[in-house]
Chains A and B, each alone.
Chain A
Amino acid sequence: MSVSSVLFSAGTRSEMDLELEPPLKKQRTINTYLPDIDIWIDKIKSSDQNLSPVVSDEFNAPIKLGKVYVGYIKNVQDISKAVMTLNEKIPLKELQHLKRVKRQNIILCPITSLNSETIQEYIEKNVGELKDIFDYFQVLEVPFTAPRVTKQYQETKKYWPCNFHPNHYWEKLVRNSFFTDHELVIHRTYMEVVMEIVKWHSNYLQIKLSDDGLQDINASIVVDPDINSIVTIAFDHRQIHPLQHTAMIAIDNVARTQNGGVWDNNISDELMIHLKEKFAINFGVRDSNKNSKEGPYLCTGYNLYILREPCHMCSMALVHARTKRIFFCIENQEKGALKSTVKLQTISSLNHHFEVFTGFL
């Protein structure tokens, strides 16, 4: 039975599986793996979108509201005395971001501070000297979380005035215009190199990126942005060695540039020649005598460009390596540790925090 007759025959599945060698699935993919990658490469090159930083949820979270008692002060002259007394005797504690006063209204306390007493009784008990200055009391909803960025500050203003000092860097992170056009071209070119590595290996291995079970295909490059040079490249090798995810190999390859390293070098010379021919990009490490006394230390100051969002093992390895920035292309819904299942870069107790960017496609 020929291949084409199997493809078009109504034969049972088991018959097909038995007689086809190599399996049918592989036959199909040979013709389709290349266009997929080329479409991606085109997208990466032609997109005019800025890359998006993957930031802590608290920058994008909607403002959380909570209820407080507010007193209306009868005479304007009493306001400053009331503020001073209340700040001393009933401080706002975790609500420090709230301004105490809005015109003649003053925040007394969260409604949860009261047990069974009325607000008048509570005032008499805790700040007796203020018991006669209020005209009336009301319960209002105010922001219970401090605004971190201007977008959130605008939202809080609708409810109650807040203390807010914009942090220049945070504003830049959420504005979606982090990189200049010139920088974007550089980042997109490096991701194109990653794609080219994948393409070269898929050609070589005859596999398709979207095949079931081949979701693990991954590649990465390490770049020294100060001299705009590719320090090393790495292709995922986990089918053979379960620790050799592309980022783990990349870190070991960087170690080799610093007279260390453990694993065998598996960078193909042929691939390196191909990349150097195709891209007008520098390769290699900086001359440590010229630029710094110490020379590079681990991945300090280096950026990693990687096809798929790294897993927990690789992400933490990149923390250990003190990588400066991670750029990834495709989310890893099940095991991704920079966006999908957790954002490792936002865990404050870790001793190093890199920046993460995505949005190439």
Chain B
Amino acid sequence: MDDFMRRALVLASEALAAQEVPVGCVFTFNGNIVAESRNSVNITHNPTRHAEINCIDIILRYCKNNQINYHTYFENIVVYVTVEPCIMCAAALNNLNIKEVIYGCANDRFGGKTVLDVNTFYDKGYKLTGNVLADEAMSLLKQFYKGANPNAPESKVKKNK
């Protein structure tokens, strides 16, 4: 479990180096990593390109290219992500009937459990475990927010300080 989270943390630091919000994520299938990604919101100008969404896209492409039914594939996926999935990602993972989600630190700004418990809106809901290598994940976030989001307009940057 820690190994997968360590890999997600490496991806998160890559995001930090690229001036993105440092969140990293790996998707595993039968104990093997089948997709990995990190936040890419600033480079894409698309605020939905969170690490989890990027991984979902990778799996969808893989399933399409190999004629695999993505519905059943996602049902066997266990997600490791350095920060609690936001409300958007939590809903996306629920829509796909993901098996399980393991995260590092909580997300008190957008968390899909902390701010709004998204699982309650879905019949099945996935198993959710937090606090795995949380300090490492949090310290990356702190490093990012010490500097400001370089892509936000100036007025917004000032307000956040």
Contact = CB atoms under 8 A, between A and B. Distances in A.
Interface string A241-278: 11100001001100100111110000000000000000
Interface string B35-72: 00000000111111100010011001000000000100
Interface residues of A, number: 36
B116 A342 contact: yes
Contacts of A294: 153-154
A123 interface: no
A313 B95 contact: yes
Given A243-B53, A320-B88, A261 B44 contact: yes
A313 B152 CA distance: 23
A260 B44 contact: yes
Interface stretch (A32-40, A70-78, A169-177, A344-352): A344-352
Interface string B123-161: 000000000000000000000000000011110100000
Contacts of B152: 297
Nearest to B56: A243
Contacts of A314: 88
B110 A242 contact: no
A317 B116 contact: no
Interface in A310-352: 311-317, 319-322, 335, 337, 341-342, 344, 347, 349-351
Contacts of A319: 87-88, 110
A322 B153 CA distance: 12
A243 B92 contact: yes
B91 interface: yes
A342 B136 CA distance: 33
Nearest to A241: B60
Contacts, number: 95
B79 to A, nearest CB: 15
B45 A258 contact: yes
Interface residues of A, dominant DSSP: loop
B96 interface: yes
Given A312-B87, A312-B88, A316-B88, A262 B121 contact: no
B87 A316 contact: yes
Interface string A273-294: 0000000000000000000001
B113 to A, nearest CB: 13
A298 interface: yes
Given A297-B152, A298-B47, A344-B116, A316 B86 contact: yes
A261 B45 contact: yes
Nearest to B123: A334
Given A316-B91, A341-B121, A261 B153 contact: no
B56 to A, nearest CB: 6
Nearest to A259: B45
Interface in A10-34: none
Contacts of A242: 56, 60, 70, 92, 95-96
B43 A260 contact: yes
Given A241-B60, A242-B95, A317 B47 contact: yes
B115 interface: yes
A255 B88 contact: no
Contacts of B96: 242
Interface of A: 241-243, 248, 251-252, 255, 258-262, 294, 297-298, 300, 311-317, 319-322, 335, 337, 341-342, 344, 347, 349-351
Interface of B: 43-49, 53, 56-57, 60, 70, 86-92, 95-96, 108-110, 115-116, 118, 121, 151-154, 156
